[in-house]
Amino acid sequence: MTFQFYSTNPKGTRQKNYRAPCGVCRSCPHFGVCTTDSQKGRKIVRDELEPIRERLKATYESPPGQDIYRQRRIYSELPFAQIKHNDGVRRFLLRGLAGVNAEFALIAAAYNITRLMTLLGVAGILAKIQGV
């Protein structure tokens, strides 16, 4: 199949359009299964970012990728789970990117303070603040 042109889907993402050369589909034994268009032939539309997604998927499914994902689950997903479960933060109350960023900054600060209290204790935090 040969590249024909770029198009844009309703979400605004560019797509590559491919078509089989004229006449090839009519002579194919699978004609009628994958296409019934005898004039123009089979058409395939692929998102422009699809090769990147396929490469990321291959990286994820490889053994080193699985090792990285295991580490990610341990270190970075735990705080989000604790914020969601322990603090009951299920949805953002504010709308818009600026509001959500401000709200998440407050949630992260509260999580970090709680974590410090768990690790150092209140006396340890006061000692660090006072420079002792």
> Hey, where are the domains in the chain?
2-48, 91-132
Give pLDDT, residue 39. 67
pTM: 0.47
Give pLDDT, residue 10. 85
Per-residue pLDDT tens for 48-104?
A: 888 899 999 999 999 999 998 888 877 778 888 888 888 888 899 999 999 999 999
Reply yes or no on whether the pLDDT at 116 is more than 70. Answer: yes
Average pLDDT, the chain: 85
| Nearest alpha-carbon partner for 49 in 109, 6, 85 | 6
For the chain, state the CA radius of gyration.
26
What proportion of the chain, given as a percentage, has pLDDT over 90? 26
Q: Answer whether 47's CB lies under 8 Å from 18's CB.
A: no
Reply yes or no on whether the pLDDT at 21 is more than 90. Answer: no
**Sheet strands side by side (includes 43-47):** 2-8, 14-19, 43-47
pLDDT band for position 38 (50/70/90)?
A: low
Total Cβ atoms within 10 A of residue 111: 17
Across the range 20-34, mean pLDDT stands at: 74
Q: Answer whether 23's CB lies under 8 Å from 38's CB.
A: no
